[in-house]
């Protein structure tokens, strides 16, 4: 099947660009990105995306306006990028992931400290908690792959290496660098990134405490419902939108 037959594509709209910009502000508010490093994208055609770019008035991800979100094709050619704006140097993370994984419609690349330290210390997240955060527990059960190189992913070949390490998982720790997270929607990708951060934070703090904590038993896992539904992701997303904007979130489908 060609990508165009199966790709998750969002309508390019002012609302979608606001969603991408808001996701950058949420990631900054939650400490997953700092300063001007990190970016979010959404597929708007089988081989085109909108992505957070840097303009001449760049002020960091915490203050990302929708006017920082611009459209490019998967070869990096600008569609509507104005003069003065630059796409991310690591654009291939987004373009190659969306090219090779048509089921995904959104990509996050961030540099969260907890995942960085887990990657450096070679601490694989384990399912040591349950009802505290069920989606994060399931992420640990499914495994969090690690791309072992600390390179800036500026070329498609390097992104292909990362994708090989990532396999069929929607998350990947880039050792000595950061994380890549994919979702069908921007909201789903953000919630997954936050869950990965929660998992890495607990993993790191337990290591700091020097405690060997057992994984929860299978009988407890069996009692935990699967909360990974789109409905749950949207609810969590709306909470974070409301919090970062200081007002109730509109109902969004992107
Ligand atoms: Zn990076």
Cα 179 to ligand 1 centre (Å):
8
Helices (H), 54-120: 91-100, 113-120
How many CA atoms lie less than 13 Å away from 254 in the CB half-sphere?
23
Catalytic residue among 90, 96, 157, 223: 90
- pLDDT tens by residue, 72-126: 999 999 999 999 999 999 999 999 999 999 999 999 999 999 999 999 999 999 9
Please give the residue that has the higher pLDDT: either 21 or 226: 21
> DSSP 3-state assignment of 146?
strand
How much is the average pLDDT of 136-159? Answer: 96
Tokens 């887990």 sit at which residue? 118
How much is the average pLDDT of 195-220? Answer: 95
Output the pLDDT for position 228.
61
> DSSP 3-state assignment of 246?
coil
> Taking the alpha carbons of 237, 239, 243, 246 in that order, is the dihedral positive or negative?
positive
Cα 200 to ligand 1 centre (Å):
17
Nearest Cα to 78, choosing from 48, 100, 41?
48
Cα 165 to ligand 1 centre (Å):
16
How much is the average pLDDT of 217-241? Answer: 86
Output the pLDDT for position 254.
47
Cα 125 to ligand 1 centre (Å):
21
Cα 201 to ligand 1 centre (Å):
19
**Of how many residues is the chain composed?**
254
Cα 90 to ligand 1 centre (Å):
7
Annotation says 184 is catalytic: no
Output the pLDDT for position 48.
98
Q: List phi, psi (to 5°) of 150.
A: -100, 20
- pLDDT tens by residue, 38-67: 999 999 999 999 999 999 989 999 999 999
Rounded to an integer, what distance in angstroms lies between the CA atom of residue 170 and that of residue 193? 10
| Dihedral, CA of residue 251, residue 184, residue 36 and residue 156, to nearest 10 | -160
- β-strand pairing of 106-110 with 39-45: antiparallel
């Amino acid at each position: 099947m060609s990508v165009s037959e199966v790709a998750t594509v969002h309508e390019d709209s002012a609302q979608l660009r606001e969603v991408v910009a808001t996701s950058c502000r949420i990631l900054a508010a939650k400490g997953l990105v700092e300063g001007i490093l990190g970016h979010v994208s959404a597929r708007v055609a089988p081989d085109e995306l909108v992505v957070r770019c840097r303009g001449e008035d760049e002020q960091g991800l915490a203050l990302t306006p929708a006017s920082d979100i611009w459209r490019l094709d998967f070869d990096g050619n600008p569609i509507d990028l104005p003069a003065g704006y630059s796409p991310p140097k690591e654009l291939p993370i987004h373009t190659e992931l969306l090219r090779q994984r048509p089921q995904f419609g959104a990509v996050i690349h961030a540099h969260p400290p907890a995942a960085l330290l887990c990657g450096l210390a070679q601490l694989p997240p384990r399912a040591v908690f349950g009802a505290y955060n069920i989606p994060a527990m399931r992420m640990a059960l499914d495994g969090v792959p690690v791309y072992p190189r600390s390179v800036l992913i500026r070329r498609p070949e390097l992104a292909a290496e990362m994708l090989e390490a990532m396999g069929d998982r929607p998350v990947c720790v880039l050792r000595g660098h950061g994380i890549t997270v994919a979702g069908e929607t921007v909201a789903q990708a953000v919630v997954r990134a936050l869950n990965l951060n929660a998992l890495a934070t607990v993993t790191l703090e337990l290591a700091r405490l020097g405690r060997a904590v057992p994984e929860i038993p299978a009988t407890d896992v069996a009692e935990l419902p699967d909360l990974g539904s789109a409905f749950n992701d949207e609810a969590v997303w709306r909470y974070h939108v409301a919090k970062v904007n200081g007002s109730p979130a509109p109902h969004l489908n992107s």
